[in-house]
Amino acid sequence: MKTIAVLTSGGDAPGMNAAVRAVVRTACVNGIRVLGVIRGYNGLINGDFVELDLRSVSDIIHRGGTKLYSARSAEFATEEGMQKAIQQCKENGIEGVVVIGGDGSFRGAQDLSERGIPCVGIPGTIDNDIACCDYTIGYDTCLNTIMECVDKVRDTTESHDRCTVVEVMGRRAGYLALNAGIAVGATSILIPEINFDIEKDVIERMKHTQLTGKKHFLIVVAEGVGVNVTDLAHDIQKETGVESRTCILGHIQRGGSPTVKDRVMATRMGHYAVKNLLMKGIGNRVVAAKNDNVVDYDIFEALNMKRHIDEYLYQIAMDVSI
């Protein structure tokens, strides 16, 4: 391949810049020209490209967000939008595309591959919800951000003998809530993958620990469970007598400088996407982390895999946070 493009799509995630850097540097040292696509698939449709060379990706490895900007493109989901993107690829000599994003972005990559533009997906999302991957870029940084925020809220929660109900991100997945919940010692963790009953899994647990002398509580709720945390805090206060507050962490969870783990994994995946796949003319693949190795899967196969939460880990959390 002589020219490839790289884009970031969907919700940004810390470490996306490190992945872009690795893609660009690996391609450049192998004599491949790289075009950065601005604002995800919208940029591909509109021909919004920027030439990237070795030095253009200096000083971004430590930055959160994405230098290429990101978007969720409704137009790309239409056949007309897709055809415009293909036309842009042809006019600009783009022979392969690296797509850094979540499963929605991979569907676009699959569609493009099927229409003759080989694409490789790199999993970049804080949610860690890509079934073929043990781990997605941005997840580790996000977990650490949540932990730091909840550690702060814990100080005031403890000082006032209160309960704080913390809502964390995770559109359809509870990995962030489960692992952050363990890291902060939450009394209850509500996630979409495991059925729960507020009375039994929150109120009774709190009452039980009150009997052992516990006076302050943290409850971690994944946004994906659809529980209104203000109502939950109200119910907790009414039923347990513990004054309660809420803390919705929101988009602060998506920002910040990536951790070592995110930077290293992003670099490995970006390198793999170019060196092991696109340079060999291989497309329609998703790069994945499996048992600390970097591997790849057919996109269709990857999108149809089912990921299961570690129920034993959830049980450990419940056994210990009591």
Candidates 39-47, 169-177, 234-242, 297-305 — which segment interacts with ligand F6P by CB under 6 A? Answer: 169-177
Check binding of 102 to ligand F6P (CB under 6 A).
yes
Q: Which is nearer to ligand F6P, 126 or 273 (CB)?
A: 126
Q: Per rule CB under 6 A, is residue 127 in the interface with ligand F6P?
A: yes
Distance of alpha carbon 239 from the chain centroid: 36
Question: Is 149 a binder of ligand F6P (CB under 6 A)?
Answer: no
Query: Does position 167 bind ligand F6P by CB under 6 A?
Result: no
What single-letter DSSP state applies at residue 259? P
Selected catalytic residue, list 103, 127, 140, 262: 127
CA distance 314 to 179: 9
By the rule CB under 6 A, 174 interacts with ligand F6P: no
254 near ligand F6P, rule: CB under 6 A: yes
Between CA 166 and CA 297 the distance in angstroms is 36
Q: Binding to ligand F6P by residue 11, rule CB under 6 A?
A: yes
71 binds ligand F6P (CB under 6 A): no
Q: Which stretch, 31-39, 48-56, 123-131, 151-159, contacts ligand F6P (CB under 6 A)? A: 123-131
CA distances to 16, 92, 232, 308 from 66, rounded to whole Å, are: 6, 23, 35, 29
> How many Å apart are CA 146 and CA 229, to the nearest integer?
17
Nearer to ligand F6P, 12 or 296 (CB): 12
- Residue 270 is classified by DSSP as H
E strand map for the chain: 3-8, 33-37, 49-52, 96-101, 119-123, 163-168, 188-190, 217-222, 244-248, 285-290, 293-298
Q: How far apart are CA 136 and CA 194, in angstroms?
A: 21
Q: Which stretch binds ligand F6P (CB under 6 A): 111-119, 125-133, 178-186, 307-315?
A: 125-133
CB of 11 to ligand F6P, least distance (A): 3
Span near ligand F6P by CB under 6 A; candidates 52-60, 62-70, 167-175, 183-191:
167-175
Q: State which residue, 4 or 130, has the beta carbon closest to ligand F6P.
A: 130
Q: Which of 5, 21, 10 has the alpha carbon at shortest distance from 262?
A: 21
**177 sits near ligand F6P (criterion: CB under 6 A):** no
Residue 307 in contact with ligand F6P, rule: CB under 6 A: no
- Taking each helix axis from N to C end, the angle separating 260-272 and 16-29, rounded to the nearest 10 degrees, works out to 40
Question: Looking at 168-176, 229-237, 239-247, 298-306, which segment touches ligand F6P (CB under 6 A)?
Answer: 168-176
Which residue matches tokens 């996407």? 273
With binding defined as CB under 6 A, does residue 169 bind ligand F6P? Answer: yes
Please state whether beta strands 244-248 and 285-290 pair in parallel, antiparallel, or not at all (unpaired).
unpaired
- By CB under 6 A, what part of segment 219-248 binds ligand F6P? 223
Question: Binding residue for ligand F6P (CB under 6 A) from 125, 187, 240, 244?
Answer: 125
Is 127 tagged catalytic? yes
170 binds ligand F6P (CB under 6 A): yes
Residue 222 and residue 314 in contact, taking contact as beta carbons nearer than 8 Å? no
> Residue 271 and residue 22: Cα distance in Å, rounded?
5
Task: Please give the structure tokens belonging to residue 244.
Answer: 């309660």
Does residue 171 bind ligand F6P (CB under 6 A)?
yes
**Considering the rule CB under 6 A, would residue 39 count as an interface residue with ligand F6P?**
no
**What residues contact residue 87 under an 8 Å CB cut-off, 6+ apart?**
none
Is residue 296 involved in binding ligand F6P (CB under 6 A)? no
Which are the catalytic amino acids? Answer: 127
Q: Which residues bind ligand F6P (CB under 6 A)?
A: 11, 102, 125-127, 169-171, 223, 254
